[in-house]
Each structure stands twice: as C-alpha cells, then as structure tokens.
Amino acid sequence: MEMARVLQIFDTTLRDGEQSPGVSLNPQEKVEIAKQLARLGVDVIEAGFPVASPGDFAAVQAVAEEVEGPYICALARAVAKDVERAGEALRSADKPCIHTFIATSDIHMKYKLNKRPDEVLRMAVDAVRLARSYVDMVEFSAEDATRSDRDFLCEVFAAVLENGAKIINIPDTVGYATPQEFYDLITYIREHVPGIDQAIISVHCHNDLGLAVANSLAAVKAGAQQVECAVNGLGERAGNAALEEVVMALRTRQDHYGAITNVVTEQLYRTSRLVCALTGVSVQPNKAIVGDNAFAHESGIHQDGVLKERTTYEIMTPESIGLRQSRLVLGKHSGRHAFREKLRELGYSLTEKDINRAFERFIELADKKKAITDRDIEAIIETGRFAVPGTFILEYVHVVSGNTTVPTATVRIRHGDEVVEEAACGDGPIDAVYRAINRATKVPVHLLDYALQAVTGGADALGDATVRVKDNGHIHIGRGTSTDVIEASALAYVHAINKIVNSREKYQSAGEV
C-alpha cells in the first residue's frame, strides 16, 4: 500500500472564524483557543488581522508570545502598512508566518480595487518581498481565485514564488466553485506555474453553496498540500470548511484520499465545545462529527444494528473525536479525588486553583441535581475558566411573573463594598431582570442577542445562557449556567457587563476612546 502523504491543517478560527457576524474574542480568549488548537495538532494558527484594530494586534501578539508548536500566522493586505503591522505583531513567535493577499478576479480588480492587472501584480510582488524581510514563511493568497482568469492567476503565482513566497493559497472566496471545477483549477495551476513543485499549494473554501468541505477534499485529491479551515465551520457569511469534517473525512477515507494529518482527533470534540463556549455560537444537533446527534441512534433498526455490530451504522467511533462514555458517575457525595479523575478522563489540565474553584461549583450543582453528566462538568469548566474580574457580583435575583401578572424583578448587586438593590418591570421575566440589573450597575447596555439552551436533558437540566452585547463599537459575549434559567440569564448578563467595564478600562489606559 502506498504511504499516505501528510496534509497541513491551517486553522483560521481566530481570524476568519471571528469575522462571523456577532463573534468577538478578546486576547485572553484567543490565547486559550490557540493553546487548544496547539494541543489539537494543527500546523498553522492564523491568529488575526493586526492592522484591523489595536485589539487584534494585541491578540496576535499575545498568541505569538504564549503559544508554541504551530506556525503563528498574521493576515495582511498587499499594502506596506498591513505587512509591517503583521511583522511587528509576530516578533515574539518561534515560527512566524505572514499571510498577504490581494484580489485577482476581474470583478474585484475593477469594482473593489479599481486597479489594472499589472498594478495588482506589482502590489502582490512588493508585499511578498516586504513580508520576507520580516519572516521566512510567507503565504500569498489570490482573493476570489475561482473567478479569476486562469492565465493571470498563474502569472501572479509565478511572480510571488520567484520573490520569496513559500505557500500559494487558492481561495474560493465566495463559495462559487463546484468540486470538479475546483479539482480542475488546482490541476491547471500545478501544470502552468513555474516553480510550483517547490511551494505548498493551499486552499481556502467558503460554504455559500454548502460545498466548502467537498471543494477542499477535491483539492486534496488534485494535489493540494494544505487546507485552510475553521473549527465548527465558523467564518464569513455561511462559514468556512469545517476543520473537524475535513480531518475526519481524511482519516475515515484514507483509502480514497491517500492523505493524513497531524491532528490529534481525540481533541476535536473538546476544541469544538471550547469554541462554542467562547464565541457564543452553538452547533446544530445534526452537525457532522461534533453535533449532539452525530453518534445518536433513535431508529429501532439502527439501534438493533449498532448493538449487534457498531460498524453497521457508525463509520467512526465517538472515542475517535474525544467523546467518551462516562465511566464515573458523579453526584453530591463524590469526593475531590473522583472529581479530579473525571477531569483527567475528560482531558482537562487545570491548575490546582482552577480545580478547587470548579469543585466548589460542582458541589453547588450536585446539591440541585441527582446525577452530574460530562456535559455538566464541561459547562462548569468552560464558564468558570474564562470569567472576568468580578466588578459586579450578582447576589440575589427574584422574579414575579405570570400570564396575568406584570413581570417584575428584584436584584441585589455587589460592587466592592457597596450593595445595591433595584427592581424593574419588563415585557417578560428576563427583560425585567435585565432592566433591574441596568439600574443597579448604571452601565448602559445594548443587547444584541440572547440565547438559552439546556446542557443536558431532564427536568433538572443545567441551563446555559448566552448574551451578546455591544458597547462603543465593541461586541462582548457573556455566559451563565444554572439549573435555574432565570439565574443563568442574569449571570450571563452580569458577565457581559463586567467585560464591558474591564474593556473600557483597558481602552482608556491605551489612550483609546
């Protein structure tokens, strides 16, 4: 059997994924995701777009300083200020990479850039040369490649390779291509670009027609050596190729694609849950690989088949993505040792301080629930691990509501040594709670989105509330969990307000408005 070639996985969750509408990650959250991506075993982490904002610059800089293993990549348009800013942000990275791009399709050059093809070619070459003065590893992307003239595309790629680019990226920027078209394009580029054999061919597919993963795999079949993707398929509009789908397709159908990755697939589920927790974007239950129903069987025929022989209806195992069946059942009488063992079984590596804090929350929850599931523990860890300093602490919430009663909420908020109680009415119990919290904290909040979901089933299910708020152009995500959905909703709102207050202090200290 011919030996499988190793395909590089370029993760863009922190850059293109963060461009999903409503998603905003602070530097600390980006570092935590980047560390998990390093544990996952991706080859490249695209940490952000440094020129976009001081916050993005700080996030890329923090990832470059704190994360080891993968290449740390920064995005830059093919203009000098972008490339220079990217180079500065990556100064501390052990393995830095600058990813510079410019559009090459007629429609983009005419209507977006207002540039002639020769001007675009010159800008591409100049950007690559400048990037090489900062880092050794430079990737060049031809934006909207699938709608570009093929001969011009090959001319641009040949020029940037001659001037120091080591990776050429062929993006299906608007998700326009079909798998056969994309296969043919990769083949054409391989046959018509001088020096292409010395470069890495990368692809970056969007999912506007639901073909991002299919197109990426077609490119692999045609000889691409790197796939750019995002956890849970996050990204602009309909998103990017989903990392977990690309990786598991290659693993499951290695016989067809002849390629493997360095990804530790047992880390896929946890990575997915972490990204859900920090972005506030959940995956649908029937999502491939990491959805709640991905390994669930309800049909009697399916259940019978799986019980007799798992492979009748499962082409991969839950364990292969890190989704394990519980071996320890935890409850209110479980000790710290059992809790620590469960964390180890779930793959968490926490400090003693974090373990103790999580154990306290576990005991509180165990007093309310008869049995604690793995999903409950994951929620405890992920909501507690990324808490911001408690400028405001929710001490009490009480709600009176009903179909013939005006919803009224009373809250008690601690702010340092000061305790404030406020009450308010609203259109519903959650609205009343949020109005009361606004009065108590005196922090104006523009609520963009509110979501509530059950972490597990049953009447005593842990509720997971997520709010997305906007303050001075910055978006903040707050999360709260409790068996009481009113309390979970209140905790999420206070969490978001604390983020607002903390970020305002940082902006003021940095001289921003």
Please write the tens of the pLDDT for every residue from 130-174: 999 999 999 999 999 999 999 999 999 999 999 999 999 999 999
Question: Whose CA is closest to 139, among 79, 88, 73, 68?
Answer: 73
| Cα atoms in the 13 Å half-sphere on the side-chain side of 56 | 22
Least confident of 72-76, 141-145, 216-220, 394-398: 394-398
Instruction: Give the model's pLDDT for residue 460.
Output: 65
User: Where are the chain's structural domains?
Assistant: 5-279, 300-385, 393-509
The CATH code of the domain at 5-279 is 3.20.20.70
pLDDT at 303 over 60: no
Give the whole-angstrom CA distance, residue 125 versus residue 158.
Answer: 10
Mean pLDDT in residue range 13-40: 91
Give the whole-angstrom CA distance, residue 24 versus residue 27.
Answer: 10
Mean pLDDT in residue range 8-37: 92
DSSP type of residue 145: G
pLDDT at 510 over 60: no
| SS3 labels along 377-419 | HHHHHHHHHCCCCCCCEEEEEEEEEECCEEEEEEEEEEECCEE
pLDDT at 314 over 80: no
Per the model's pLDDT, the better-predicted residue between 32 and 339 turns out to be: 32
Mean pLDDT in residue range 302-325: 72
Q: Do residues 281 and 267 make contact, with C-beta atoms less than 8 angstroms apart?
A: no
Give the whole-angstrom CA distance, residue 288 versus residue 210.
Answer: 13
Q: Which two tokens stand for residue 347?
A: 């793959």
Mean pLDDT in residue range 262-273: 94
Q: Do residues 13 and 31 make contact, with C-beta atoms less than 8 angstroms apart?
A: no
Instruction: Give the model's pLDDT for residue 327.
Output: 45
Mean pLDDT in residue range 282-301: 79
Count of other CB atoms within 10 angstroms of residue 132:
17
Sheet holding 393-402, edge to edge: 393-402, 405-415, 418-425
3-state SS, residue 214: helix
Q: What beta strand segments (E) does 104-237 contain? A: 137-143, 167-172, 200-205, 226-229
Instruction: Give the model's pLDDT for residue 62.
Output: 97
pLDDT at 280 over 90: no
- At 325-348, the pLDDT tens digits run 544 556 666 777 778 877 776 767
Provide the whole-model pTM. Answer: 0.81
pLDDT at 513 over 50: no
Instruction: Give the model's pLDDT for residue 380.
Output: 75
Instruction: Give the model's pLDDT for residue 378.
Output: 74
Question: Whose CA is closest to 436, among 408, 403, 401?
Answer: 408
Over pLDDT 70: what percentage of the chain? 89
Name the residue with tokens 């020129």.
51
Instruction: Give the model's pLDDT for residue 325.
Output: 55
Q: Which two tokens stand for residue 289?
A: 């690989």
- Reported as a pLDDT band with limits 50, 70 and 90, residue 512 is very low
Mean pLDDT in residue range 12-37: 91
Q: Do residues 134 and 127 make contact, with C-beta atoms less than 8 angstroms apart?
A: no
Instruction: Give the model's pLDDT for residue 164.
Output: 97
Mean pLDDT in residue range 398-417: 92
Instruction: Give the model's pLDDT for residue 221.
Output: 97
Per-chain mean pLDDT for the chain? 89
Q: Which two tokens stand for residue 301?
A: 């025929």
Give the whole-angstrom CA distance, residue 52 versus residue 73.
Answer: 15
Least confident of 74-88, 124-138, 308-322: 308-322
pLDDT at 502 over 90: no
Give the whole-angstrom CA distance, residue 174 versus residue 103.
Answer: 12
β-partners of residue 99 are 75, 139
Is CATH 3.40.605.10 the classification given to domain 393-509? no
- Reported as a pLDDT band with limits 50, 70 and 90, residue 376 is confident
Question: Cα dihedral sign for 325, 328, 329, 334?
Answer: negative
Give the whole-angstrom CA distance, residue 87 versus residue 76.
Answer: 9
- Reported as a pLDDT band with limits 50, 70 and 90, residue 319 is confident
pLDDT at 507 over 70: no
- Reported as a pLDDT band with limits 50, 70 and 90, residue 300 is low
3-state SS, residue 71: strand
Contacts of 303 (CB under 8 A, 6+ apart): 297
- Reported as a pLDDT band with limits 50, 70 and 90, residue 285 is confident
Q: Which two tokens stand for residue 321?
A: 């993505």
Instruction: Give the model's pLDDT for residue 403.
Output: 87
Same fold, 5-279 and 393-509: no
Mean pLDDT in residue range 423-452: 93
The CA distances from residue 361 to 278, 358, 484, in Å, are: 19, 5, 14
Q: Which two tokens stand for residue 293?
A: 């129903």
